[in-house]
Amino acid sequence: MTYLLLIVGFALLIKGADLFVEGASNIAWLAPCTAYFNRFNNCCIWNKLS
């Protein structure tokens, strides 16, 4: 019984992580700026701070 609960728990954990990544991806897709812009902007910020 313990092993069955362990397997079910891992399956639910993996499914939850998948839903989290899908949701985060959808939110990022709705954002007005692109991933390239974010990388460029973050690099500029860190260069100014250093």
Question: What does the alpha-carbon distance between residue 16 and residue 44 come to, in Å, rounded to a whole number?
Answer: 35
| pLDDT tens readout for residues 4-50 | 999 999 999 999 999 999 988 888 777 666 555 656 655 655 555 55
DSSP letter string, 3-31? HHHHHHHHHHHHHHHHHHHHHHHHHHHHS
How confident is the model at residue 6, as a pLDDT? 97
Looking at the whole model, is its pTM more than 0.75? no
